[in-house]
Structure formats: C-alpha cells, structure tokens
Amino acid sequence: MTDQIKRIHILHYGYPICGFTNETPDKWPPGHRWARIDDAEASGHPLFCQRCRDALDLREHEKRIQELRETGALPQLFVR
C-alpha cells in the first residue's frame, strides 16, 4: 500500500529546500515526496510545495543578480 501524496518537495543536498524538516527523505512523514532541483515536470504538479517553489525562485533571482554584477551591468551595492 502506498501513501497518498500530500506534498512534493525539492531535494537540495539531501534535504528539502523549503526547510519543512531537517531529516532525509527516508525519515519524512508519510505522503511527502521529493523531486530533483532540475525536475521541471514536478514543479508544475498541483501538490508541489509552494515554499520550495519560492525558495527555488529566490535562488534563481540571486543567481541572476550575481551574473549581472559579474558582467558589470549591475553595480555591487553591498559587500558580503
């Protein structure tokens, strides 16, 4: 018998990118599944975790800002 899918999370370095748990998938609650970070099909699924989607969008935004800074198209305003 399989559990009904409740939520699909993005797996990043073995953990959900949304942070809903600090456990690996083998210890997740029933019904929680995972997808690779580059799995575009999963991101369109209606049970895809919104917090994972938001975290992924933020990562893409940060990557684009870094690319713009590296090309000089965006001045570096803050130093980390």
- Domain locations in the chain as residue ranges: 7-71
Q: In angstroms, rounded to a whole number, what is the distance separating the alpha carbons of residues 54 and 60?
A: 10
Mean pLDDT, to the nearest integer, of 40-68?
81
pTM exceeds 0.75, yes or no: no
Strand 7-12 to 32-36 pairing: parallel
Q: How confident is the model at residue 1 (pLDDT cuts 50, 70, 90)?
A: very low
**CA distances to 18, 41, 76, 77, 79 from 12, in Å:** 9, 17, 28, 29, 26
Residues ≥6 apart with Cβ < 8 Å to 65: 74
* pLDDT, averaged across the chain: 82
- Residue 49: strand, helix, or coil: coil
- Per residue in 18-48, pLDDT (tens digit) is 999 999 999 999 999 999 887 867 778 899 9
| Rounded Cα distance, 28 and 22, in Å | 9
